[in-house]
Amino acid sequence: MTRLTRCILLAVCMAFALPLHSADRTTQIVGGTDVTDLRYPWMASLFFQGEGTAFFPGCGGSLISDRWILSAAHCLIDSQTGQQLSPENVLVLLGSVDLASDSRVFTDVSRVVVHPNYNSNTLQNDLALLELAESVDFSPITLSNSTNPVPENGERATVAGWGNTAEGGNLSILLQEVDLPIVSHNACLPFYNNLSPVNNLCAGRLLSGGQDSCQGDSGGPLFVPRGNQFVQAGIVSGGLGCARAGIPGIYVRLSSYFDWISSFVSVPQVYDGSNDAEVVAIEEPLQTLSANSRVTASVAQADTVIYLTSNTDRVLLETTRGDADLFIFNSITFSDQSLVCSSLSTTAIDECLLNNTGPHYIAVAGFEESDFVLSVSVGNGNVVDVEIETLQLDTPVNRNVREGTATVYKATSGNIATLTSISGDADLAVFSRANFNSDTLICLSEELDSALDRCTYNINGPEVYVVVYGFTNASYTLAIRSAEPVVAPQSDTGTGANSDNGAGGGGGGSLSGIIIILSLLLHSLYRRNKSVPTA
């Protein structure tokens, strides 16, 4: 497969790996949106008989064959008597998103099967099957078994229901849906004693809260897209309140119950594992990159790492091994609509310029297994921290600089800057102002063959800015002189390659202060086709 094909595929995969239905929503489950059409034809509402003859909506369910509904056990147990409800006390509404619609058609239930190991104290095995009195025409949802289980931790799943739209609030007349991250067992365990990693799964917004299933959604499906179908991953079971920040909801992990379900139902649609590779799994909390910061990480081939950043002007991805590509979305529902920039360069540098508005989701996609340095900046490469060391005439400094980073110095005298790379390869640039662009660039030196970079300049203003850029991790000596000196490469200055004297160098440790992102310089370097030196 050509690189281009792969990249396009990757982009398309990313675009369609998550729910495909972000259009036509009115914002209002908790924090969900209206479902106004029959896109979820298997979605069922269970109505229960009240005191008299009237029936009231109370739980959700899903159609899994032409004759069977899957729901939660606790929906089918009378909370006062602890007895299982009889089929006559339950009606199933299918084919309507509007509980109050005049055209509602209810189907009778002929049999209720509650999981024999349902435990109302621990909420374990909280599932039940309802056999319909007659077969129905709606398409059933696909189920997964333990061979091809869904979901993956961190992937977005959708939950739909007519439950309360706030904790302690009211049911919704119109079907609601919300996308929630699947939360790992360990992240969920602190909230729930009896959680089983095999039989439960958790979903919710760990950081923000605000979106969740709630009372009345129980029994309804949590589902994930696989190719052009949805696969049911869970059943709404319970949780501590609704949409509280940091507290996920609990679901029955359906793939563990396929055999039990199959002992009653001949399940017509079983997920075969296809399109699994398209899943974009995003563990929450997402790693957030603050302005003018960078992260060094790795990504596997065909895998994607996601970061969140806000109010960023520029995102720079430098691939130090392999080949990674950059995609930026303005919403976590990745789609063509939310893609604001992609950079699929085959060189080490991918870059996106943004407009400094709102949150952006940065996806680093591994075309090959790759190591990368991802930097986000505001201010288009301006100095962001003015604590800049001033170089004294004829007083060399010995420092380290990390690959892909830059260190800025100020010089108020002299007219020649010399940079000697003792180990690795550092490059030198001089700017007239602390605003790094082609107008302010006075000199750029990027010697490959010799360890010596030299810039001669005239100080026009009160100072110049001398920038040392780490083409690789490097140790260097930087000196400012005022006349043409004879400088031999200084291979033995006493500053070992690993010495990190901490005085402002970028030697693998703190980058505080004077490290900035000089993408302009980077670009210049790479435009000149400098080959990557081997270590």
Q: Looking at 62, 65, 71, 126, which residue is catalytic? A: 126
Least gap, CB of 123 to ligand 4AZ (angstroms): 10
Q: Is 8 helix (H, G, I), strand (E, B) or coil?
A: helix
Instruction: Indicate the residue among 224 and 315 with the shorter CB distance to ligand 4AZ.
Output: 224
From residue 180, give the alpha-carbon distance in Å to each of 6, 146, 279, 308.
29, 22, 14, 16
Q: How far is it, in rounded angstroms, from Cα 411 to Cα 435?
A: 15
Least gap, CB of 29 to ligand 4AZ (angstroms): 9
Strand 142-143 relative to strand 156-161, pairing: unpaired
Instruction: Indicate the residue among 60 and 414 with the shorter CB distance to ligand 4AZ.
Output: 60
Instruction: Indicate the residue among 67 and 74 with the shorter CB distance to ligand 4AZ.
Output: 74
Q: 126 an active-site residue? A: yes
Least gap, CB of 41 to ligand 4AZ (angstroms): 23
CB 354, CB 313: distance < 8 Å: yes
Tokens at 320, concatenated = 């130090």
Least gap, CB of 218 to ligand 4AZ (angstroms): 4
Nearest one of 132, 136, 155, 135 to 71, comparing CA atoms: 132
Planar angle of CA 251, 252, 254, nearest 5 degrees: 130
Neighbours of 317 (CB within 10 A): 23
Instruction: Indicate the residue among 218 and 256 with the shorter CB distance to ligand 4AZ.
Output: 218
Instruction: Indicate the residue among 155 and 217 with the shorter CB distance to ligand 4AZ.
Output: 217
- Phi, psi dihedrals of residue 305, rounded to the nearest 5°: -115, 135
Q: How far is it, in rounded angstroms, from Cα 504 to Cα 59?
A: 62
| Upstream peptide bond of 151 is cis (omega within 30 degrees of 0) | yes
Q: How far is it, in rounded angstroms, from Cα 166 to Cα 212?
A: 9
Residue the block writes with tokens 């979305």: 329
Q: How far is it, in rounded angstroms, from Cα 221 to Cα 141?
A: 9
Q: How far is it, in rounded angstroms, from Cα 443 to Cα 147?
A: 62
Strand order in the sheet with 349-353: 293-299, 370-377, 314-321, 349-353
Q: 524 an active-site residue? A: no
Tokens at 37, concatenated = 């059409």
Least gap, CB of 115 to ligand 4AZ (angstroms): 17
Nearest one of 149, 166, 174, 161 to 236, comparing CA atoms: 161
Instruction: Indicate the residue among 239 and 470 with the shorter CB distance to ligand 4AZ.
Output: 239
Q: Looking at 21, 62, 74, 237, which residue is catalytic? A: 74
Least gap, CB of 160 to ligand 4AZ (angstroms): 13
Q: Is 259 helix (H, G, I), strand (E, B) or coil?
A: helix
Q: Which residues bind ligand 4AZ (CB under 6 A)?
A: 212-215, 217-218, 236, 238-239, 242, 249
Instruction: Indicate the residue among 249 and 507 with the shorter CB distance to ligand 4AZ.
Output: 249
Q: 523 an active-site residue? A: no
Instruction: Indicate the residue among 6 and 205 with the shorter CB distance to ligand 4AZ.
Output: 205
Least gap, CB of 188 to ligand 4AZ (angstroms): 12
Least gap, CB of 421 to ligand 4AZ (angstroms): 58
Nearest one of 342, 335, 336, 339 to 4, comparing CA atoms: 342
Q: Looking at 218, 335, 370, 421, which residue is catalytic? A: 218
For residue 420, the one-letter residue type is T
- Catalytic residue list: 74, 126, 218
